[in-house]
Amino acid sequence: MSSFLNITSSSLIFFLTGVPGLEVAHAWISIPFCCLYITAFSGNGIILFVIITESSLHEPMYYFLSMLSTTDLGLCVSTLVTMLGIFWFNARQISFHACVAQTFFIQLFTVMESSVLLAIAFDRFVAICNPLRYATILTDSRIVKVRFAILIRGTVILLPLALLLKCLPFCRSHVLHHSYCFHPDTIQLSCSDNKINSVLGLTALIVTAGVDSIFILLSYILIIKTALSIASAEEWHKVFSTCISHTGAFAIFYIPLISLCFVHRFGKRAPPYAHTLMANAYLLIPPAMNPIIYSVKTKQIRRAIKKIIFPKESVL
Q: What is the pLDDT of residue 4?
A: 45
Q: Which pLDDT does position 315 carry in this prediction?
A: 47
Give me the pLDDT at residue 224, please. 81
Q: What's the pLDDT score for residue 266?
A: 62
CATH code of 2-315, in short, is 1.20.1070.10
Q: How far is CA 84 from CA 165, 179, 207, 212, in A?
A: 25, 9, 32, 32
Nearest to 220 by CA among 188, 246, 187, 201: 246
pLDDT of residue 198: 85
Total-model pTM: 0.89
Give the whole-angstrom CA distance, residue 204 versus residue 158. Answer: 7
Residue extents of the structural domains in the chain: 2-315
State the pLDDT at residue 3.
Answer: 45
Contact 279, 178 (CB under 8 A): yes
Residue 85 burial by Cβ neighbours in a 10 Å radius (0-12, 13-18, 19+): middle
Reading the chain (316 residues) residue by residue, the pLDDT tens digits are 444 444 544 578 899 988 877 778 888 888 988 999 999 999 999 999 999 988 888 899 999 999 999 999 999 999 999 998 998 988 889 999 999 999 999 999 999 999 999 999 999 899 888 888 998 999 999 999 999 999 999 999 999 999 999 888 887 678 888 889 988 888 888 887 778 888 898 899 889 988 999 999 999 888 888 877 765 677 677 677 767 778 888 888 888 877 777 766 666 666 767 777 778 878 889 999 998 888 877 778 888 888 777 776 654 4
